[in-house]
Chain A
Amino acid sequence: MKHLIKLTVNGEEYEVAIEPNRSLLDVLRDDLELTGTKKGCETGDCGACTVVLDGKTVNACLILAVSANGKSILTIEGVAQGGKLHPVQEAFIEHGAIQCGYCTPGMILSAKSLLEENPRPTEWEVREAIAGNLCRCTGYVKIVKAILAVAEEMAKAPVA
């Protein structure tokens, strides 16, 4: 039996009729055509499908879409605002923290969430925060540098 669910994705409201055996990841990619969220392992190990659900990072492969009914979701497509990249996105480009790019959407969302919770993380805290995001190109050093650089910039910038 299909369930009618409501999702707010990147500020837009969607209503979709879905079978309960669909992951949030599949509904985002196949029904809403938001393919920036990547599909990797489907077992919660790789973090390629990281999205922000009601303010918290989750693996979209590990939650049924029907369980996300009524929730607010941020995917990588919603991170840039008004055509302007988020500072974390800018820093990833600046530091060459992207190789094949498959882990990047998840990395960006994990990094963004970390910095919102903890604006001055230590290198260790950055590494822990992205422990659930695997980079198979093994480009971790530049990813960590990029995230730390954003924290440093934020500390310098006047508080808006």
Chain B
Amino acid sequence: MEPFQYHRPGTLSEALRLLQNHGGEARPLAGGQSLMPLLAEGILAPQVLVNLVDIPEMRELSWSDSGGLSIGAVVTQRNLELSPLVQARLPSLADAVSKVASVPVRNLGTLGGNLCHAGPGADPPAILMALNSSLRISGPTGERVLPVEDLFVGPYENALAEGEVLLAIQVPPMPAGAKAVYLKHSVRAIDPAIVGIGAMVQVRNGLVREARIGMVGAGPRPVRARGAEEALRGRPFDEDSIRNAAQAAAAEAEPLTDGYASAGYRRKMVAVFVRRALEKLRVTM
């Protein structure tokens, strides 16, 4: 690890000031589970690290019936997974987060850090997209809100501007009668997803009223499977519409080849796992 200055501000304003003062030389640090390997291997060598874990607004985990779940950016994945609140209100989110790496990694790793790292095979983006989540981002000029899918610009590249930090993740309450699920395909539990599918479907009067599908591992960045969603909306939630949605998702995926799987295999698995996720939802409705 190259030398760096280390700061641990106690307030958001102090953190923003530090990040702004040091410009591109500074990096925010949360749980460090993605950043530490990059520092250890010399891939990143920032001159300044700003540890965000003490910032009160980023540590909150709360629920409101109108806004849903608000997850401070430095809440750990393990805390989310074990939270009775999250398990009761958004069980698919608790389950998806429990699929990240290993217990020790989840004990330190934060949801905000996972998202900002923007790994193509990270699990949480898939379910967060399906659940229609948005991000509260804070920067020198104030706060802005971004749909979660707009955070991911490319592999390991996020949409935050210099000096901005992710403050919290907002997950709305489940729409009436909707169900959601996350399915991960990986060889070892600790690996990133070869393919991960988050799906949320709401059926009303026998027809799909709303469908949102998030895919990870299916391209250079997490994306919504908009064609698959379209193949479901307004139709009966049956074998035909599910088959069409799975085919649409495979067609719109832009998978890459890496050490875990080839692009061709990934495309096939997108179809398989979209179908399985939707079937899983259908049998519970």
Contacts and interface: CB of A to CB of B under 8 A. Distances in A.
A21 B3 contact: yes
Given A56-B78, A62-B32, A131 B189 contact: yes
B41 interface: yes
B75 to A, nearest CB: 14
Contact of B36 (A44, A53, A66): A44
Contacts of A128: 103, 189
Contacts of A45: 190
Chain A interface: which size bin?
A: 20 to 34
B190 A61 contact: no
B36 A110 contact: no
A129 B105 contact: no
A141 to B, nearest CB: 16
Contacts of B189: 128, 131
A90 interface: no
A62 B37 contact: yes
Nearest to B79: A56
A66 B29 CA distance: 12
Interface string B201-242: 000000000000000000000000000000000000000000
Interface in B94-116: 101-105, 107-108
Nearest to B105: A44
B6 interface: yes
Interface in A41-59: 42-45, 47, 50, 53, 56-59
Nearest to A133: B102
B65 interface: no
Contacts of A21: 1-4, 39
A100 interface: no
10 contacts: A1-B5, A19-B3, A22-B1, A43-B41, A62-B104, A67-B8, A67-B29, A67-B32, A128-B103, A132-B104
Interface of A: 1, 3, 19-23, 42-45, 47, 50, 53, 56-59, 61-64, 66-67, 110, 113, 128-129, 131-133
Given A20-B4, A20-B5, 14 more contacts: A19-B3, A20-B6, A21-B1, A42-B37, A50-B104, A53-B108, A57-B103, A58-B107, A58-B108, A62-B108, A64-B6, A67-B53, A131-B103, A131-B189
The 10 closest A-B pairs by CB, nearest first: A132-B102, A20-B6, A43-B37, A131-B189, A21-B1, A56-B107, A62-B36, A57-B104, A59-B104, A42-B40
